[in-house]
Amino acid sequence: VTRWLDDREQSAWRALLAMNARLLARLNRQLQDTCGLSIADYEILVALTDVGERSLRMGELGQMVEWEKSRLSKQVTRMAARGLVVRRDCDDDRRVAYVDLTDAGRAAIESAAPAHVALVRHLVFDALDDQQVDALADIAATVLGRLDLDQDEEAAAPAGIRPGG
Amino acid sequence: VTRWLDDREQSAWRALLAMNARLLARLNRQLQDTCGLSIADYEILVALTDVGERSLRMGELGQMVEWEKSRLSKQVTRMAARGLVVRRDCDDDRRVAYVDLTDAGRAAIESAAPAHVALVRHLVFDALDDQQVDALADIAATVLGRLDLDQDEEAAAPAGIRPGG
DNA sequence: GAAGATTGACTAGTCAATCTTC
DNA sequence: GAAGATTGACTAGTCAATCTTC
């Protein structure tokens, strides 16, 4: 006997999905139109500037953005072709590849960030009060915690019929 | 002078983005592994079952899922090839195309739904109390409202330098 | 043989151009 | 010519296979 979502849950769930989809589409369009960057480009550039160095191993970068490694590899190839980043070999361990932010890459993120942040503020934070911002952070942290737990179970369990209960 | 996000806002924002990405990835993987459906397939099937009839015009379906029309067209082509839906011409107006849910399509959504809902409940609603569910619905509705407003302005305005603030 | 990463073949999505019917 | 929808060329992402170095 399946326990379906009740009306409150269903409407919250659908609103969340709709918000996600439309918010990302809107942010992506704005970045694309104003700077020729995609959200994916932006994410990589942020990861690269976030850490003090302008340089990260593919593996580290992959952990930060949480993408499939092949997706990251291809994204970096495209960004390198556009001159936003450059690949560099590691001398200590020839298996690892570093990704360096170029000056052009830094310039791109610096010119894109203000309008992007302004839009995020306009669409999200200007519309929410402090309590809602805290609630949002709590909710997201809670769900992320569940996702982590679930992943651990999966690693431990013998590939059973989850999720049953 | 850009007004950046403060720490609270930044962490809420990043948590939201991370939750989105990981939640969708998790749900997609579960659907794919257990029924060979993607989230996109599931969304179309839900739209088609949601409305009483098992049939919708492309245009109506497009409004429900809020996708680019070419994306929808290709998705329907793929689903038709797999026998989940079928395209049908309209006699009154030969320009319009109907999409009908097939028996196989109905069977697919019916077999997929229980585990999908169970996972949504497990990851999201079991972890949140009533207050949080209401807060989430409020927040999402607020942000969706902003997105709508913004879109209307865009339609009205002469393509100015939005978003400035 | 495992770690770190890339490649190849395929599926999915986007944008502009096109086709058909009204 | 506008409404309704599809197509074609391209970019993006996924999964399994591969390559290189440890």
Rounded distance in angstroms from the CA atom of residue A70 to the C1' atom of nucleotide C7:
9
* Nearest C-alpha neighbor of B165 from the set A137, A126, A13: A126
Instruction: For residue A89, give how far its alpha carbon lies from the nearest alpha carbon of chain B (Å).
Output: 30
- With bands split at pLDDT 50, 70 and 90, how would you rate the model's confidence at B1? confident
- With bands split at pLDDT 50, 70 and 90, how would you rate the model's confidence at B157? low
Does B71 contact A at CB distance below 8 Å?
Answer: no
- With bands split at pLDDT 50, 70 and 90, how would you rate the model's confidence at B155? low
CB contact under 8 Å between B140 and A16, yes or no, is yes
Does B33 contact A at CB distance below 8 Å?
Answer: no
How many Cβ pairs closer than 8 A exist between chain A and B?
169
Tokens 């007004």 identify what position?
A: B3
Portion of chain A with pLDDT greater than 90, in percent: 85
Q: How far is CA B34 from CA A68, A104, A165, B114, in A?
A: 21, 45, 16, 11
The B 45-104 residues near strand C by Cβ under 7 Å are: 67-68, 70-71, 74-75, 78, 92-95
Rounded mean pLDDT of B12-36? 96
pLDDT in tens, B74-91: 999 999 999 999 999 999
Determine the Cα angle at B139 with ends B143 and A143, to 5°: 115
Portion of chain B with pLDDT greater than 70, in percent: 92
For residue B164, is pLDDT > 70?
Answer: no
pLDDT in tens, A118-129: 999 999 999 999
Portion of chain A with pLDDT greater than 70, in percent: 92
Number of Cβ within 10 Å of residue B147's Cβ equals: 19
Q: What is the DSSP string of B87-149?
A: EEE-SS-TT-EEEEE-HHHHHHHHHHHHHHHHHHIIIIITTS-HHHHHHHHHHHHHHHHHHHH
pLDDT in tens, A22-70: 999 999 999 999 999 999 999 999 999 988 778 999 999 999 999 999 9
A-contacting residues in B 124-153 (Cβ below 8 Å): 124-128, 130, 132-147, 150
For residue B158, is pLDDT > 70?
Answer: no
